[in-house]
Structure 1
């Protein structure tokens, strides 16, 4: 999902030529989108039980933070140049508006005839698109501030303690998830390479097991609403200080579990690698199927109340989102998910000229490299398309 959402070129893997996709990130995005779809498929399960709730809490503790960290990592070269702003609008805002209308019409058709169209209040899963837009346009600021991650974490803490943040553009989520995006901006390739070490991969297994046990213990003691970052502490009937504490605890938990997840993501090219380039399609489209199944009574079958039924739902969600990431689906929906909209560009602006800024570069680093001139850019082609 991130490559499509962020509209940036994935970093070339070690030893690969410039401009080649790194299989690691595509594999990570595919596995993460499977977790997203599976988590959404668990939500409507009747009487899901403590085990499913524990798995749900475990997955939600890190799957969106992983997405957001990677999105931040691939936003490192973003500036406010006309070319990049155009890509931001056509790659994020336009699909958001299209799918906001589509999901509104869908909701009206299957459940609520009078369901309002409210672009300022994103429909369910669509919150991530305007959030990414807002995070990205602030990238130049986070590249300049001295302590970006602590500052963004302070913003998230204050948001969780606030009572005056409205629902427009899911601003509460935008602010509480902000530290993960800023962290991604600060990461370097060596940070991901560190996760490849054997001792890290070995340690990831017992850490994940302990986290599962903690999730199981926490089910009757903690609301899963904390993981959504949609509410402040007062809205969850908790004291204000709990908002600050939970923000810090969940941030630490997401970092640890996200590292465990990434440590076991395959680094080589596999069957799933090509699907990782189409995760935006799976993300935007799977909601129609899951919400449709819920609205049309698909979750009312008593079979879903037994373990075999819950396993069947999990496998069905994984297969569904996998199918939605395949090239045939991408070809059909490309014009609404990744519109180029050259017809809307001002006359004389010319075609988009791609750049080869790597995601490991900050904006300042890229500008310094560009000022050196082509002769001092080893391994970088002077022209070419994405």
Structure 2
């Protein structure tokens, strides 16, 4: 979710977006390393799964197979996205230039799209009294506020002795804390935290190991078993567990179920994320350049996803046939693909990546001339 050297119409390499806050740097601050197509491929494929999952939401009640696919994808699509976001946050130390990007690249777009989605809700769903609330993220905007919190706390995880166990503990405690409230969608922020912290801990060689032939071969039966398990789970488990938005008590379950479910979903999410990453192509493909625009696709596709439900696009008889579900899947993938393209990014850049230079003291930013740490291992 950051700018790449795009095939066709290049974009400024120095500007970065949500999942990749700082360009890779060498010892010379002015030199920018070429991007690894593997990560752009991974980000594009992950955002396609996000969009397809949203497209399947209205189909769950009428098809056990569609519901199983939905649970399967929801087990790992956001964990994969969040792990990559953590990996590209390794260099965040809170320097002035990084704080500027945090505010202008995440904080301000959050406010912009939160307001835009509420206005869209009022108009599109004929709900003119729906309240504005910056503290209550609407639909897809939760990821921006979550990423703001995760990235802002990145330096803390650098000094913690056992960052991943602590993050897992935080997630488990959140899952049994019914009084946290809904502000900032804090349940999701805390319950998904382990994936972000794990991303902070990873290095490039870890992704290389995941792509080894034996890992790819092992991933196939794991994915097949996960699909079969999802089909079995459909009538037995409330889908809401996979959203991580409520505590166990709020779900009508005992507190210990929150702990066990947190560990189970985290383990399953990690296993399927590794399987997903194992099969992401490492070479440059036709969709590699689209990995630079995934934050655009993510923020913009929600308007189409919500509108399709409010305006009864799923009411047509053909939609609830097997062929119709395939068509809906293809439409979801096509829409998110278009929204990640360079022309769309040029049109909406002022909303997704506002410059905001006027709001910051330039002398402080000029003084911040040291390159960001190139990786977690060097920062430790």
1:226 pairs with one of 241, 248, 252: 241
In the other structure, the counterpart of 1:4 is: 17
- In structure 2, do the counterparts of structure 1 residues 136 and 350 end up closer, same or farther at CA, with 3 Å as the change threshold? closer
Show CA shifts across 1:307-337 (max 9, x none): 1111111100000000000000000001110
Pairing 1:20–2:23 present: no
- In structure 2, do the counterparts of structure 1 residues 44 and 359 end up closer, same or farther at CA, with 3 Å as the change threshold? farther
In the other structure, the counterpart of 1:32 is: 46
Secondary structure of the corresponding residue to residue 238 of structure 1: coil
Offset at residue 45 of structure 1 (A): 2.6
In the other structure, the counterpart of 1:332 is: 347
1:182 pairs with one of 167, 183, 197: 197
Q: Is the 8 A contact 1:156 1:177 kept in 2?
A: yes
In the alignment, the residues of structure 2 paired with residue 122 and residue 362 of structure 1 have an alpha-carbon distance, to the nearest angstrom, of: 34
Q: Which runs of 4+ in 1 moved over 6 A?
A: none
In the other structure, the counterpart of 2:11 is: none
Pairing 1:195–2:210 present: yes
Offset at residue 354 of structure 1 (A): 6.8
In the alignment, the residues of structure 2 paired with residue 301 and residue 272 of structure 1 have an alpha-carbon distance, to the nearest angstrom, of: 31
State the aligned residue count: 361
In the other structure, the counterpart of 2:145 is: 130
In the alignment, the residues of structure 1 paired with residue 201 and residue 53 of structure 2 have an alpha-carbon distance, to the nearest angstrom, of: 29
In the other structure, the counterpart of 2:94 is: 80
Pairing 1:292–2:307 present: yes
Q: Is the 8 A contact 1:157 1:243 kept in 2?
A: yes
Show CA shifts across 1:62-83 (max 9, x none): 0100111111111111112211
Q: Is the 8 A contact 1:62 1:255 kept in 2?
A: yes
In the alignment, the residues of structure 1 paired with residue 181 and residue 247 of structure 2 have an alpha-carbon distance, to the nearest angstrom, of: 11
In the other structure, the counterpart of 1:368 is: none
In the alignment, the residues of structure 1 paired with residue 374 and residue 81 of structure 2 have an alpha-carbon distance, to the nearest angstrom, of: 15
In the alignment, the residues of structure 2 paired with residue 352 and residue 24 of structure 1 have an alpha-carbon distance, to the nearest angstrom, of: 34
In the alignment, the residues of structure 2 paired with residue 217 and residue 358 of structure 1 have an alpha-carbon distance, to the nearest angstrom, of: 46
Q: Is the 8 A contact 1:71 1:181 kept in 2?
A: yes
Offset at residue 299 of structure 1 (A): 1.3
Q: Give the structure-1-normalised TM-score.
A: 0.90
In the other structure, the counterpart of 2:107 is: 93
Q: Is the 8 A contact 2:19 2:84 kept in 1?
A: no
Moved more, 356-365 or 339-348: 356-365
Alpha-carbon RMSD: 1.8
Q: Is the 8 A contact 2:20 2:85 kept in 1?
A: no
Pairing 1:41–2:55 present: yes
Secondary structure of the corresponding residue to residue 29 of structure 1: helix
In the alignment, the residues of structure 2 paired with residue 10 and residue 69 of structure 1 have an alpha-carbon distance, to the nearest angstrom, of: 17
In the alignment, the residues of structure 2 paired with residue 101 and residue 292 of structure 1 have an alpha-carbon distance, to the nearest angstrom, of: 16
In the other structure, the counterpart of 2:321 is: 306
Q: How does 1:1-386 map to 2 (within 5 A)?
A: 1=1, 4-9=17-22, 19-45=33-59, 47-111=61-125, 112-346=127-361, 348-350=363-365, 356-357=371-372, 360-362=375-377, 364-365=379-380
Offset at residue 269 of structure 1 (A): 0.8
Moved more, 166-175 or 347-356: 347-356
Offset at residue 7 of structure 1 (A): 4.0
Offset at residue 33 of structure 1 (A): 0.3
In the alignment, the residues of structure 2 paired with residue 309 and residue 109 of structure 1 have an alpha-carbon distance, to the nearest angstrom, of: 28
Show CA shifts across 1:221-262 (max 9, x none): 111111110011111111110100010011110111000000
In the alignment, the residues of structure 1 paired with residue 113 and residue 200 of structure 2 have an alpha-carbon distance, to the nearest angstrom, of: 28
In the alignment, the residues of structure 2 paired with residue 82 and residue 363 of structure 1 have an alpha-carbon distance, to the nearest angstrom, of: 20
In the alignment, the residues of structure 2 paired with residue 40 and residue 360 of structure 1 have an alpha-carbon distance, to the nearest angstrom, of: 34
- In structure 2, do the counterparts of structure 1 residues 62 and 320 end up closer, same or farther at CA, with 3 Å as the change threshold? same
In the alignment, the residues of structure 1 paired with residue 363 and residue 83 of structure 2 have an alpha-carbon distance, to the nearest angstrom, of: 37
Q: Give the structure-2-normalised TM-score.
A: 0.91
- In structure 2, do the counterparts of structure 1 residues 212 and 352 end up closer, same or farther at CA, with 3 Å as the change threshold? farther
Secondary structure of the corresponding residue to residue 17 of structure 2: helix
Secondary structure of the corresponding residue to residue 253 of structure 2: coil
Q: Is the 8 A contact 1:159 1:172 kept in 2?
A: yes
Show CA shifts across 1:252-278 (max 9, x none): 101110000000000011111100000
In the alignment, the residues of structure 1 paired with residue 372 and residue 362 of structure 2 have an alpha-carbon distance, to the nearest angstrom, of: 26
In the alignment, the residues of structure 2 paired with residue 329 and residue 297 of structure 1 have an alpha-carbon distance, to the nearest angstrom, of: 26
